[in-house]
Amino acid sequence: MAAPSESVSVGSRVSCLTCLGQKIRGEVLAFDYQSKMLTLKCPSSSGRAHLSDVYLVNLALVKDVETLLESTEPPPALTALNVTKLTRRMNTEVGEKMSHAHALSMGVTPEGLQLFQTIQKTWTPIKVSKHLEDDHEKWEAPEINFKCHSKGIKDCKWNEKNIIVMDEVTISPPYRMENCKGSEGNALVHVRKIVEKHFKDLEVQKAAQQSPGLAQPAAQQRDTPLAL
């Protein structure tokens, strides 16, 4: 790496103690001597293998930096980045957060918010969503190809307190299965299944007496394809 710092090289494991007393350990991703910025990669706090927590540490406000393990391997090659994808992600995240904030401001119940997040992040057969978007008639397709999943139902928005899914299904408070309304079709069936599973999981969580991690169910479901 280009970092001139003798003490920090890419790939090394270091431990930093910030001025606030936070101790951070991680693998050096990058170090910029000029700005004294250090990026560290730590295992994900959620424990997922392919994810990780990244820290950008301002060494100017760090009490101590300790190199735990000096790296001998050359730094990994840098890959090209899909900036478009990054930009999209940012806009999506911002949009979701703002949408969530708006919904919250509208007085949507926590259940509703949770359901909304769940629906948003539920793996949805691409066929369904696509059909919903493209052609109503195709919704009548008897079978759903579960092998093809989209990343979730992005076409999900708030309308007052109602959740509008794919412009087809409306879920009104209290957001139960019976509150799902819309033209009969795969979309409605699919949404109902999502709602059903959402509350089932929620009950399971409560039963587990887990701390009020309302967001966790959704987070867990995020990468778990909806079992219909």
Partner 1 sequence: MSAVKFAGGRKPGSRPPLGRVRPISRNSLQSPSLVQEAAYINTRMVHVLTSLVGAKCELTVKSGKVFEGIFRTYGPKVELVLEAAHQQKADISPLGPRVEEILDTIVFNPSDYVMMQYKDVDLNFAAREGFTDGVIVRRVNGEHQDRELEPWQGGETANDDNSSLETDVSNGWDPNEMFRYNEENYGVKSTYDSTLSTYTTQLERDDSEEFQKREARAEQLAREIEATTQYRTHTNLEDDERSEEDKFGAVPRRITTAISSERDKESPGGIHPRGRYVPPNQRSRDGLGRGGLRQNSPKFGRQSMTSASHRGGHRYPEQSGSPILESRPLAGGSRGPPVRSQTSPSPKPQVDALPMATIITGSLPAACSSGSFHTSPPQPGSHVPISAQPVLLSLSASPSVASSGGLQVSSVTTSPRSPSPVIPTEQPRSLGSLESHSSSETDTSGRTQMHSPAQDGQEADVLPEPVMPGDSALEPQGIKTVTPGQSTTTWTLSTTTRGSYQTISDVKKNSLEEFKRFSEEFKLPDEKSSVGATETVEPGVPGDSTSLVTGSNDEVRKGLTGSPSTVSDSTCAEDKSDERGHISSSPEGELEKGEKPECEAEQTKKSTLNPNAKEFVLNPSAKPFVPMQKQVQTPTPSRPQQVSPSVMVPQTAAALCSPQPLAGYPTPIIPLSPVPTGYTMPVPVSQHKPYRPSKGAMTPVRSEHPHAQGAQAILHQVSMAPVSAPPLVSYSPAFMPYSPQHFPNQPSLMAYQHPHQGGAVYPSLMQGGSRVLATTQMAPGQPGLVHAPSSSSPQFPPPDTAPHPQTIYVSPTPVPPPYPPPPLHPPLHPHPGSLHSLAAHPSQAASAHAGQAQHNRPVPSPVQHQPAQGPQPQQALYSTALVSQGPHTQAAGYPPPHPGQPQPIYALHHPQHHSYNSPAALAPNQQVHMQSGLPSMGPQPHAAHTAQVVLMAHPQSSAHSGPPPPPPHQGHLPLSGIPSMPVSSATPFAYMTLQPQRERLSVVSTRLRLP
Q: Return residues touching partner 1 (CB under 8 A).
A: 1-4, 10, 18-20, 22, 24, 29-35, 37, 39, 41, 44-46, 48, 50-58, 60-62, 75, 77-83, 85-94, 97-98, 100-102, 104-105, 110, 113, 212, 214-215
Q: How many CB atoms lie within 10 A of CB 94?
A: 10
175: left (phi over 0), alpha (psi -120 to 50) or beta: left
CA-based nearest residue to 124, from 180, 183, 194: 194
CB-wise, 85 or 142, nearer to partner 1? 85
| Structure tokens belonging to residue 48 | 């997922």
Least separation in angstroms between residue 228's CB and partner 1 is 26
Least separation in angstroms between residue 48's CB and partner 1 is 7
Least separation in angstroms between residue 2's CB and partner 1 is 6
Least separation in angstroms between residue 143's CB and partner 1 is 25
CB-wise, 188 or 218, nearer to partner 1? 218
Contacts of 104 (CB under 8 A, 6+ apart): 113
Alpha helix (H) ranges present in 58-82? none
**Distance separating the N- and C-terminal Cα atoms of the chain:** 49
CB-wise, 92 or 159, nearer to partner 1? 92
Least separation in angstroms between residue 103's CB and partner 1 is 9
Give the 3-state secondary structure percentages of the chain, helix then strand then coil, rounded to 5: 35, 25, 40
CB-wise, 58 or 224, nearer to partner 1? 58
Least separation in angstroms between residue 74's CB and partner 1 is 11
Mapped onto helix, strand or coil, the DSSP state of residue 133 is helix
The span from the CA of 110 to the CA of 9, in Å, is 46
